[in-house]
Amino acid sequence: MPLRRKTSHLLLHTQVPARVTESFILSGYRSPDYSFLECLLSAFQPTNETGNFWTHFLAVFVFALSFLELFITRESTPSFSDPFFYPLWNYVIGVLGLLLASSMAHLFNSMSLLVREICFFVDYGTISAYTVGSSLAYFYYIHPQTAAAHPPGNFSTDPWLLRQPLCGVGCFDTLYIPSACLVAVICTLACCCTRRRWRRYRYVIRTFVFLLPFTVASAPIFYRLYAGGPLNGTLAPFFYRHCFWLLASAVFNVSKIPERFSPGKFDIWGHSHQWFHCCTFMSILDELRMIKGEIRWLSAVTDQAAELPLAAATLCSTYGVMFGVQCCIGGIISAFAVRASGDHSERAVDVNQRKCS
């Protein structure tokens, strides 16, 4: 049967197009003409994409359980229409979009070379959208203006700390979210371009390109840590762990360890991209714990709630921003997909002409 033949017969790196191969991965490649059903079945077979799929697909459920714990521990379940949680929902949308798009890209990229390109264009776009979701959560829950606010009865009296909201925060309010959105769009463009050029350095470029949105998004945290004071005790440790896992993921993605030292041995299990997925998800979990800690802390603030930036959270400033970014990213992905389709058609014509001649 054709289905059985294809799913049981994996290829060497010399038997697939060069654009499909990965550095130091010598075997375990699927034929680049799988059907939708064959791709689904390949999730349960030992290919070099199986671990890539499961490390982010199972992460969806782990993240969901960790997220739901926030509501289990609260005295009352908040409404979806509560503006306090608008930034959180956008963050969750960003994370789930990233994990699902990544896992689906690794599962279905063998349907054709064109589908492969589109899958990873979408993958890059959802990573960028996730950074915007993180920025919204950071802005509304870890805003510099909250550095002077503490649970009732324990507000900061440090004169320097109390005057920080008057010094530069207005500029921060104006530029932070637009900057995060602009950087997300630039990162999507840059990563999509690496599928057409700079292929020798594509992993380095993709890794360091996404250090920029991390730096921009983390501005409120850097401010809070710099301002000091008796702040929420969970912010610093979870943020440092978040940074550690991001650094580890970058090292795996760029170095291609361990397969670099033993090509062919880690083709199916244990290669760098699987460790990259695990480390990025661990960073997301610590980021979620950090955000949950800030939400619990802010929930205890009652008298000064009107002075906190959460009072400005609206559908437009949260969902509207995310929707606008998604539209921009969708436009970029569509443009690259159209161009990739044209290139694919030209290559098919050239192949047919060679056969005829």
Which positions make up the binding site?
106, 273, 277
DSSP state letters, 312-344: G--TIIIIIHHHHHHHHHHHHHHHHHHHHHHHH
DSSP state letters, 244-274: HHHHHHHHHHHH-TTTTTSTTTTSSSS-HHH
Residue 21, number of CB atoms within 10 A of its CB: 16
Return the SS3 of 29.
Answer: strand
Print burial letters for 172-190: b (CB count within 10 Å at least 16), e (below 16).
beeebbebbbebbbebbbb
Rounded to whole angstroms, the Cα distance separating 155 from 165 reads 14
Annotated binding-site residue numbers for Zn(2+)? 106, 273, 277
In angstroms, the Cα distances linking 131 to 122, 134, 216, 354 are 14, 5, 9, 46
Confirm if 263 and 271 have CB atoms less than 8 A apart.
no
Rounded to whole angstroms, the Cα distance separating 111 from 39 reads 7
Confirm if 322 and 132 have CB atoms less than 8 A apart.
yes
Q: Please give the span between the terminal C-alpha atoms of the chain, in angstroms, as a whole number.
A: 33
**297: amino acid identity, one letter:** W
Rounded to whole angstroms, the Cα distance separating 146 from 220 reads 10
Angle between helices 272-299 and 235-255 (to 10 degrees): 160
Rounded to whole angstroms, the Cα distance separating 82 from 84 reads 5
